[in-house]
Amino acid sequence: MAECKYCGAEIVWVKMKSGKKMPCDPMISTYTKDPKGKLKIITTTGEVVSCSPLGDSSVDKECGYIPHWSTCPNADRYRNKKVE
């Protein structure tokens, strides 16, 4: 498994529909689609979905990956900067 070079956490690379790869936390998370949700999930098919975590128990849930930039403790230090 790969490691984040900024914090050392384990990550997985999920292939996006665009063909690019997104670093994500390795644990699959449950979510409920929510167009107004502030959280993002990468589905197993590479789509970015706005969502609410875990959601209402009466609503069908789906599974996907949390982008690592949303959980990395050092993400703000390296966001929008070129890495050498």
Give the pLDDT mean for 34-59.
81
Phi, psi of 12 (to 5 degrees): -120, 150
Averaged pLDDT score across all residues of the chain: 86
pLDDT at residue 56, as a whole number: 52
pLDDT reading at 84 higher than 50: no
Global confidence as pTM: 0.80
Q: Name the residue among 35, 21, 18, 34 with its Cα closest to residue 65.
A: 21
pLDDT at residue 62, as a whole number: 84
pLDDT per position as a tens digit, 7-24: 999 999 999 999 999 999
Please report which residue ranges of the chain form alpha helices under DSSP H: 75-78
